[in-house]
């Protein structure tokens, strides 16, 4: 039987909700990239990450102009720094790390080398060495706002909220218009469940990072936590104005419609979410939930099987188990005489 989501193909379906109990007790999951999915009643948050509107790769000239009487070691360090930047642009992060390390050994005071070493280390998931490199950049240049901001962002990723807060605050003292520092500070407040302060920080991020969709998205999540559904919708709409293909935003709009019993609106939102990210398993899971409510059990079974396979492929065994359980219910109901 040909799979359809009303008029939509499988690849277009949608992104929504995982159940932890019965079909009638629903709570939306976090992104598959999250370490552990959490329900909307907790905090639906993407992994904290920096929000740079452009890659934060700085040349030595931009960060630490060399003195007129630069020694040969410093000149060689600058050459290595520029080589490392070229390697980053070529996608060779590991090679860049080695070159940046050489530059820092030749000139320990070259803040740009420490800073870009931190960026490369963070890009490869090496949080502690990255934090150390950003810290060395701040020691070499105590007014280096980007280094403080990225140090705070790295500590946030490592779940060290207090130190992350301190360094982000320092970054904003140095540069109050640093949008991604406001954004990361918002993430700190969000994890601390300080919804009002998080919203204020994200609004600042919106002001200074005018094209970034993440701040209004997280504002929407905070409003959901406060039970302010209309404000959440408005924030999500602002996020979509900045990025119409933001899968998680469509997904959260879908969960609102679903919770209000507006299944067709939910289905459309989930479809858009899946169009934005066809490998988003919550899309097919959510479609399955809608089909279950509509008693379209055959279609529910097909999308739930697809969701289960995606969860397994992405290393989410608990959610794969949930999908399998609901899939079994759909199959049983499909073959039951009606």
What is the full DSSP assignment across 10-68?
Answer: GGG-----EESSSTTSEE----TTSSS---TTT---PPP----SS-----HHHH-PPPT
Phi-psi region of 159 (alpha: psi -120 to 50; beta: other; left: phi over 0): left
Q: What per-residue confidence (pLDDT) applies to 286?
A: 85
Distance, in Å, from the CA atom of 65 to the CA atom of 110, rounded to the nearest integer, reads 9
295-326: buried (b, 16+ CB within 10 Å) or exposed (e) per residue?
ebbebbbbbbbbbbebbbeeebeebbebbbeb
Distance, in Å, from the CA atom of 157 to the CA atom of 106, rounded to the nearest integer, reads 30
Asked if the model's pLDDT at residue 335 lies above 90, the reply is: no
Cβ neighbours around 53 below 10 Å, total = 12
Asked if the model's pLDDT at residue 76 lies above 90, the reply is: no
As given in the structure block, the two tokens for residue 327 are 């899939």
Average pLDDT over residues 6-29: 29
Asked if the model's pLDDT at residue 58 lies above 70, the reply is: no
Average pLDDT over residues 61-66: 39
Tell me which of 47-51, 90-94, 112-116, 174-178 is least confident: 47-51
As given in the structure block, the two tokens for residue 92 are 């060779």
Q: What share of the chain is helix, strand, coil (3-state, %, to 5)?
A: 65, 0, 35
Cβ contact 307:48 at 8 Å? no
pLDDT band of 338, cuts 50, 70, 90: low
Distance, in Å, from the CA atom of 31 to the CA atom of 57, rounded to the nearest integer, reads 28
Cβ contact 34:316 at 8 Å? no
> Beta strand 18-19 with 26-27: parallel, antiparallel or unpaired?
antiparallel
Asked if the model's pLDDT at residue 70 lies above 50, the reply is: no
Q: What per-residue confidence (pLDDT) applies to 77?
A: 87
Q: What per-residue confidence (pLDDT) applies to 129?
A: 95
As given in the structure block, the two tokens for residue 184 are 């990361």
Distance, in Å, from the CA atom of 124 to the CA atom of 103, rounded to the nearest integer, reads 19
Asked if the model's pLDDT at residue 73 lies above 50, the reply is: yes
As given in the structure block, the two tokens for residue 286 are 């959510």
| Of the candidates 47, 38, 14, the residue with the CA atom closest to the CA atom of residue 280 | 14
E strand map for 207-337: none
Higher pLDDT, 23 or 293: 293
Average pLDDT over residues 34-43: 27
Cβ contact 153:50 at 8 Å? yes
Domain map of the chain by residue range?
A: 1-46+214-338
Higher pLDDT, 141 or 48: 141
Average pLDDT over residues 10-26: 27
What are the backbone angles phi and psi of residue 178, rounded to the nearest 5°? Answer: -80, 95
* pLDDT tens digits along 225-245: 999 999 999 999 999 999 999
pLDDT band of 46, cuts 50, 70, 90: very low
Asked if the model's pLDDT at residue 16 lies above 50, the reply is: no
Higher pLDDT, 38 or 160: 160
Distance, first Cα to last Cα, the chain: 19
Kindly state the helix (H) or strand (E) to which residue 18 belongs, with its residue range: strand 18-19
Cβ contact 215:205 at 8 Å? yes
Go through the chain and tell me how many residues it has. 338
Q: What per-residue confidence (pLDDT) applies to 13?
A: 30
* pLDDT tens digits along 80-99: 998 889 998 999 999 999 99
SS3 286: helix
CATH topology of domain 1-46+214-338: 1.25.40
Average pLDDT over residues 286-290: 87
Distance, in Å, from the CA atom of 310 to the CA atom of 285, rounded to the nearest integer, reads 10
Q: Report the chain's C-alpha Rg in angstroms.
A: 23
The percentage of residues in the chain with a pLDDT greater than 90, rounded to a whole number, is 64
Asked if the model's pLDDT at residue 163 lies above 80, the reply is: yes
Phi-psi region of 8 (alpha: psi -120 to 50; beta: other; left: phi over 0): beta
């Amino acid at each position: 039987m040909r799979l359809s989501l009303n008029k939509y193909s499988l690849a277009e379906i949608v992104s929504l909700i995982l159940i932890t109990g019965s079909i009638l007790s629903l709570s939306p999951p976090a992104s598959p990239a999250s370490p552990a999915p959490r329900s909307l009643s907790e905090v639906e948050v993407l992994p904290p990450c920096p929000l740079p509107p452009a890659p934060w790769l700085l040349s030595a000239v931009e960060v630490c102009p060399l003195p007129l009487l630069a020694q040969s070691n410093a000149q060689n360090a600058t050459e290595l720094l520029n080589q490392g930047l070229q390697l980053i642009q070529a996608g060779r992060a590991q090679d860049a790390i080695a070159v940046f390390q050489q530059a820092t050994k030749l000139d320990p005071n070259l803040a740009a080398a420490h800073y870009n070493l931190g960026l490369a280390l963070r890009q490869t998931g090496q949080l502690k060495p990255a934090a150390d490199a950003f810290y060395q950049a701040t020691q070499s240049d105590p007014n280096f706002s980007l280094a403080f901001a990225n140090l705070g962002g790295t500590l946030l990723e490592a779940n060290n909220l207090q130190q992350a807060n301190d360094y982000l605050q320092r970054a904003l003292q140095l540069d109050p218009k640093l949008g991604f520092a406001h954004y990361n500070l918002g993430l700190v407040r969000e994890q601390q469940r300080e919804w009002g302060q998080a919203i204020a920080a994200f609004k600042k991020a919106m002001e200074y990072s005018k094209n970034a969709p993440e701040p209004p998205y997280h504002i929407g999540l905070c409003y959901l936590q406060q039970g302010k559904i209309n404000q959440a919708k408005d924030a999500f709409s602002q996020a979509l104005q900045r990025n119409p293909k933001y899968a998680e935003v469509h997904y959260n709009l879908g969960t609102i419609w679903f919770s209000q019993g507006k299944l067709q609106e939910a289905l459309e939102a989930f479809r858009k979410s899946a169009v934005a990210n066809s490998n988003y398993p919550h899309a097919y899971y959510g479609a399955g939930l809608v089909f279950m409510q509509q008693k379209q059990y055959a279609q529910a079974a097909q999308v739930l099987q697809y969701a289960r396979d995606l969860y397994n492929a992405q290393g989410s065994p608990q959610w794969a188990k949930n999908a399998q359980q609901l899939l079994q219910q759909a199959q049983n109901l499909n073959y039951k005489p009606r």
